[in-house]
Amino acid sequence: MTKISTRKLEHLDLCARGDVESRRTTLLEDVQLLHDAIPEMSVDEVDPSVRLLGRKLASPIVISGMTGGAPRAGEINRALASAAQKFGFGMGLGSQRPMLEEPHLVSTYRVRDVAPDVLLFANLGCVQARDTPTGRIEDLVGAVGADALCLHLNVAQELAQDEGDRDFRGCCEAIARLVVELSVPIVVKETGCGLSPQNLSMLREFGVAMVDVAGVGGTTWPGVEALRGSARQRALGEALREWGIPTAASIVYAERVGIPAIASGGIRSALDVIRSLALGATAVGLALPFLHAFESEGEAGVLAYSERLDETLRALMLLVGARTMLDLQCSPILLGPTLQSWTAKEFQGTPGRAKGPGRPKGASL
């Protein structure tokens, strides 16, 4: 097993059992919806389906990419994929970086035999994508039968890791290249630090199909690194543990910029899902709750959790009088003062800091 595969399993164990959740909030509690006491519909009429990257999902849920590269990871991926197939969720795979070193590890990512109809996201770090020819990335995507590629951004985590990346130059060029050259859509995904208005404006100009905002409030990857490695890694991981933009703020930024967004980062309940969609997200990603369900009861636990999540989501849609996702996104909402302070300011790009092709100087919301 490679060092990367070993590290991925360490991460998996820490997330399953360790203190890895942010001490900050997603700010989704600052989003309040109005109760509809006379909804004039049956719960059977509620339709939570959405279209994502040209595909219809029965529910606006994406099981966020978590793992791959080891036999245990393969078992988890197949359990998650079975649930996604049954309930009409989307699903992401964990980083396929281990496959770059050991192509035979593809077996730990393959789920199409149990999930032939699922909207499936391949996954690669942006730094690795920068250093990998497009043809080889195309092979990674094709090997797992994915419908889109998530390019993940995890700068804070890499800085904390003793063995992590330190040079992030060229990532903008890599994103712009793959938007043009890859045969599937590109989704740019943060991993717990959120996306700023400037980031989102740039990604829209590059032609990125969608973003996954993955803001503060959920799993903190610098915090994960603080639980392993050297004294230096533990210290820096702890210092960066709470860094970033809350999930709710990043959802608003993406909606204002006009780029479709998956909301993730601390989504822990159907109420979080509803609040995220009402703010303007197209779909919502969850990871840790699914991992905990698997660790508790295996595939049966994942299926049971998925059923509860789907049922509660439909119930909440009924309680705000929303028959469809469009109805939900047109529902009145009340924003609390902290979220208003994050979203009231007009952010102005700094002239002369263009990062790559297509970045508009002085872009603002």
Q: 321-338 pLDDT, tens per residue?
A: 999 999 999 999 999 999
Residue 354 binned pLDDT confidence (cut-offs 50, 70, 90): very low
pLDDT tens string 106-162: 999 999 999 999 999 999 999 999 999 999 999 999 999 999 999 999 999 999 999
Instruction: Supply the pLDDT for residue 359.
Output: 32
Task: Give residue 43's region: left, alpha or beta (phi > 0; psi -120 to 50).
Answer: alpha
pTM equals 0.92
Least confident of 127-131, 224-228, 313-317: 224-228
CB 125 within 8 A of CB 151: yes
Q: Is the pLDDT of residue 239 over 60?
A: yes
Q: Is the pLDDT of residue 353 over 80?
A: no
Q: Could you write out the DSSP letters of every residue in 192-249?
A: SS---HHHHHHHHHHT-SEEE---BTSB-HHHHHTTSS-HHHHHHHHHTTT-S-BHHH
Average pLDDT, the chain: 92
Cα Dmax for the chain: 60
Helix, strand, coil percent values for the chain (each to nearest 5) = 45, 15, 40
Query: What CA–CA distances, in Å, run from 90 to 130, 302, 359?
Result: 26, 14, 30
Cα–Cα dist 15/35, whole Å: 35
Rounded to an integer, what distance in angstroms lies between the CA atom of residue 203 and that of residue 119?
22
All structural domains of the chain, each given as residue ranges with its CATH number in brackets, are 3-344 (3.20.20.70)
The structure tokens listed for 153 are 């951004």
- pLDDT for residue 1: 60
Could you read off the pLDDT of 36-51 as tens digits, one per residue?
Answer: 999 999 999 999 999 9
Task: Give residue for tokens 């909804």.
Answer: 39
